[in-house]
């Protein structure tokens, strides 16, 4: 990690690059609904390529987030680092199974002339509890890491305590909304967007700096919901914007989180 600190250019490539890659490539992510085979088979070669890229980019996003907060102090940093250590392997495992695994299964059955007969198996595999569990663990860990990052940049004392309470409420609200307010076809509903925007506004009012808090909360909410469009690319771009503000505007650590007044 010291080599990254000695080279600002390398640090910024790692800080911004993975999330930018995730944002760009996942704009063209095919949307899967109840029929995974039917949604993926027409794009199977791109699907495999996309998830090969994601398999590298998703864990490196965890490294990017670590670089963002490692210079800060306090319990939010510890919480964020632990959450990122969970996010990286869980989300990479989810991508390997749901992305690469499903794509290879479809491609191999199609090559053997068994694609149509394998469709129920592919859909059952894609919707398996193991894949769902890895996706949920990775998404929850990412959300916690981003909210912890908001707290890490908020001044210690009463401001951070207030922001932590709001973060807990936002986290619970987003968990509820993700489970109940997505439409039957797996896309965020208008009501979900309302809860997401309310969470972002609430955190921007409670934490500091406000625009950084809003962007990191958006990264938590949007990418934490799903990595497919529209939320995934938007969430990744919000992370990049927050990282750019912190890197270039708040480069001085004291300008971000001043000690609480005694």
- What is the per-residue pLDDT for 261? 40
- What is the per-residue pLDDT for 251? 64
Indicate whether 165 belongs to any domain. Answer: yes
Contact in structure between 109 and 166 (CB atoms under 8 Å): no
- What is the per-residue pLDDT for 256? 55
- What is the per-residue pLDDT for 262? 35
| Confidence band for 258, pLDDT divided at 50, 70 and 90 | very low
Indicate whether 262 belongs to any domain. Answer: no
Indicate whether 143 belongs to any domain. Answer: yes
Contact in structure between 22 and 32 (CB atoms under 8 Å): no
Reported as half-sphere exposure (CB side, CA atoms, 13 A), residue 58 has a value of 31
What predicted TM-score, i.e. pTM, was given to this entire model?
Answer: 0.92
- What is the per-residue pLDDT for 247? 93
- What is the per-residue pLDDT for 254? 41
- What is the per-residue pLDDT for 255? 42
Q: Percent of the chain at pLDDT above 90?
A: 77
87's tokens: 């996010």
Indicate whether 86 belongs to any domain. Answer: yes
Indicate whether 226 belongs to any domain. Answer: yes
Which residues have C-beta within 8 Å of that of residue 212, sequence separation ≥ 6?
150, 153, 242, 245, 246, 250, 256
Domain count, the chain: 1
List, for residues 193-238, the tens digit of each pLDDT value: 999 999 999 999 999 999 999 999 999 999 999 999 999 999 999 9
Indicate whether 225 belongs to any domain. Answer: yes
List, for residues 67-124, the tens digit of each pLDDT value: 999 989 999 999 999 999 999 999 999 999 999 999 999 998 876 666 567 788 888 8
List, for residues 120-139, the tens digit of each pLDDT value: 888 889 989 999 999 999 99
- Of 2-11, 96-105, 196-205, 252-261, the least confident: 252-261
Report which of residues 41 and 56 the model is more confident about: 56
In sign, the C-alpha dihedral spanning 14, 16, 22, 28 is negative
Torsion angle of C-alpha atoms 132, 20, 240, 69, degrees rounded to 10: 70
* Burial class of residue 179, CB neighbours in 10 A (0-12, 13-18, 19+): exposed
Indicate whether 108 belongs to any domain. Answer: yes
Backbone dihedral angles phi then psi of residue 182, each to the nearest 5 degrees: -80, 145
Contact in structure between 214 and 200 (CB atoms under 8 Å): yes
List, for residues 151-165, the tens digit of each pLDDT value: 999 999 999 999 999
Indicate whether 261 belongs to any domain. Answer: no
Mean pLDDT of 239-258: 76
- What is the per-residue pLDDT for 110? 77
Rounded to the nearest angstrom, the gap between the alpha carbon of residue 72 and the centroid of all alpha carbons in its chain is: 21
- What is the per-residue pLDDT for 46? 96
Q: Is 182 helix (H, G, I), strand (E, B) or coil?
A: strand
Where in the sequence is the domain holding 202, given as residue range(s)? 2-256
């Amino acid at each position: 990690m010291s080599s990254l600190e000695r080279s600002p250019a390398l640090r910024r490539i790692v800080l911004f690059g993975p999330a930018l890659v995730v944002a760009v490539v996942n704009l063209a992510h095919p949307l899967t609904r109840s029929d995974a085979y039917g949604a993926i088979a027409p794009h199977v070669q791109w699907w495999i390529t996309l998830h090969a890229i994601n398999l590298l980019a998703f864990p490196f996003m965890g490294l990017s987030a670590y670089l963002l907060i490692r210079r800060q102090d306090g319990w939010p940093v510890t919480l964020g680092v632990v959450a990122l250590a969970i996010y990286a392997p869980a989300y990479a495992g989810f991508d390997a199974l749901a992305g690469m695994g499903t794509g290879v299964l479809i491609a191999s059955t199609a090559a053997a002339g068994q694609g149509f007969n394998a469709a129920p198996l592919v859909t059952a595999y894609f919707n398996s509890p193991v894949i769902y569990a890895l996706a949920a663990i990775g998404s929850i860990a990412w959300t916690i890491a981003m909210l912890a990052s908001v707290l890490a940049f908020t001044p210690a004392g009463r401001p951070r305590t207030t922001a932590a309470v709001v973060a807990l409420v936002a986290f619970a609200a987003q968990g509820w909304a993700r489970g109940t307010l997505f439409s039957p076809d797996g896309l965020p509903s208008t009501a979900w967007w309302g809860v997401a925007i309310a969470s972002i506004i609430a955190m921007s009012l409670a934490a500091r700096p406000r625009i950084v808090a809003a962007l990191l909360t958006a990264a938590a909410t949007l990418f934490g919901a799903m990595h497919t469009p529209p939320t995934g690319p938007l969430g990744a771009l919000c992370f990049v914007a927050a990282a750019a503000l912190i890197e270039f505007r708040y480069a001085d650590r004291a300008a971000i989180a001043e000690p609480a007044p005694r």
